Amino acid sequence: MIYIREARRMVTDYVMTQHDCEGKRSAPDPVGLGSFGMDSHVVQHFATERGFAISDGVIWRVPPKPYGISYRSIIPRQGECENLLSPVCVSATHVAHGSIRMEPVFMALGQSAATAAGVALDRNTNVQAVAYPLLRERLLAGKQVLQP
């Protein structure tokens, strides 16, 4: 079985970064929470001139608390594609994706994507025009956790 930890990701109006994961920036439109450590396995091994082995690319940082994941990180930019919600190909940097990539987060984002799709259908609008206050209300009614 082939395992690909990280493949394609969108680039949207809100790119989740290490700053979001560490609480230095907070998404104003959260649709789910992440909390797993930002991690990346070794990218390459190489030897120094003195014969020491170096492992490059290892990252492990634990967020201080759960953090919100932006609605805008799961939808394309306005005008790019008006009926796409992507809870897995989230707009995130390599470091942030190391935390967001966990299945419980993808499940929460999937629930939020389905709810947003329902709102868009009910309002006969595109996913970029879904009003966050209404989406938030529906998510909370569905027991979605949006704040740590």
Residue 90 domain-assigned (yes or no): yes
CA–CA gap between residue 2 and residue 118 (Å, rounded): 34
Q: What is the pLDDT of residue 80?
A: 93
Overall number of domains in the chain: 1
Query: For residue 84, is pLDDT > 80?
Result: yes
Structure confidence by residue, pLDDT tens digits, 7-61: 888 999 999 999 999 999 999 999 999 999 888 888 888 899 998 998 888 888 8
Residue 108 domain-assigned (yes or no): yes
Element (H, E) at 33: strand 30-34
Q: What is the pLDDT of residue 29?
A: 98
Residue 11 domain-assigned (yes or no): no
Tell me which residue of 28, 8, 5 sits closest to 92, measured CA to CA.
8
Q: How many CB atoms lie within 10 A of CB 132?
A: 17
The domain containing residue 101 runs over which residues? 18-141
Reported as a pLDDT band with limits 50, 70 and 90, residue 105 is: very high
Structure confidence by residue, pLDDT tens digits, 117-143: 999 999 999 999 999 999 999 999 999
Residue 23 domain-assigned (yes or no): yes
Q: What is the pLDDT of residue 120?
A: 98
Q: What is the pLDDT of residue 24?
A: 96
Average per-residue pLDDT for the chain: 94
The residue type at 98: G
Residue 2 domain-assigned (yes or no): no
Whole-model pTM: value is 0.88
CA–CA gap between residue 84 and residue 65 (Å, rounded): 30
Q: What is the pLDDT of residue 36?
A: 93
